[in-house]
Amino acid sequence: MPEKLSREWETFEKTIGVSFKNRDLLTQAFIHRSFLNENPRTGIEHNERLEFLGDAVLELAVTDYLYRTYPESPEGELTSYRAALVNANTMADFANEINMNEYLFLSRGEAKDTGKARLYILANAIEALIGALYLDQGYDVAEQFIDRFLYKRAADVVKMKLWRDSKSLVQEKAQEHVNVTPSYKVVRETGPDHDKHFTIGIFFGEEKIAEGRGHSKQEAEQDAARAALVAKHWLD
């Protein structure tokens, strides 16, 4: 394997509980397209084809799990559960749990960006890893990996109603219980232009109920709405 593509794969394999037969597949899962623009002679493709495959494996595995776990839920709710469970934020959290960020192959420019773009790179990389696992070890091993690290999040998605749009839900609850329409205000804004962090407060009239954070105002508002739902005990 070229020197530029070396990593401590044994450590990562211990983290995920799988030893790859073909390390090139594992390496490919971590190669972002931008890296090959600066290093065109690596001999290994970027991870987008693996991502395409992994997305299909992930969808089947999660769909099967939700179908069996929530037999009373109608099709529309199951679809919403699945969307919440495999969205970019959840998948990036999944990737961070297994330290994928430490192993990515990125261009120098991409390596400096830790904002929204990195979140999507990580979300795509976890799908590519699932695709690599499927090719190297088969569906059962790929599904066991998803089971170990992702299914545990499903209970929170359902219990905390994360499958519903939090802003819509908190507006519905606020109008029902206290007859107000929530408003949102920026409390803090930090970081350079390419990596902004927003803290936004959600208010019922003049009363601040909770705060949320995110790399965009929309993300921070959703986080604030979720926090308000928790604070008001409106998720039961």
Nearest to 211 by CA among 224, 194, 198, 222: 224
Confidence band (pLDDT; 50, 70, 90) for 153? Answer: confident
Tell me the per-residue pLDDT of 77-136, one tens digit each, with 9 for 90 and over: 899 889 888 888 889 889 999 999 999 999 888 877 666 678 889 999 999 999 999 999
Is the Cβ–Cβ distance between 142 and 133 less than 8 Å? yes
Q: Is 55 among the catalytic positions?
A: yes
Structure tokens at 24: 């090139």
Q: What is the pLDDT of residues 22-59, one digit of tens each?
A: 999 999 999 999 999 888 888 899 999 999 999 999 99
Determine how many CB atoms are found less than 10 A away from the CB of residue 36. 16
Are 137 and 21 in contact by the 8 Å Cβ rule? The answer is yes
Tell me, yes or no, if 45 is annotated catalytic: no
Q: Active-site residue among 110, 127, 136, 143?
A: 127
* Averaged confidence pLDDT in the chain: 89
The first and second tokens of residue 170, run together, are 């908190």
Q: What are residue 153's phi and psi, to 5 degrees?
A: -80, -15
- Domains annotated for the chain, with CATH where assigned, are 3-159 (1.10.1520.10), 166-231 (3.30.160.20)
Q: Residue 197: which pLDDT band, with cuts at 50, 70 and 90?
A: confident
- Percent of the chain predicted with pLDDT > 90: 59
Is the pLDDT at 146 greater than 60, yes or no? yes
Instruction: State the catalytic residue, choosing from 13, 24, 48, 55.
Output: 55
Q: How many CB atoms lie within 10 A of CB 232?
A: 16
> Number of C-alpha atoms within 13 angstroms, CB side, residue 217?
7
User: Looking at residues 204-230, what average pLDDT do you find?
Assistant: 89
- Cβ atoms within 10 Å of 190's Cβ, excluding its own: 10
- pTM attached to this predicted model: 0.74
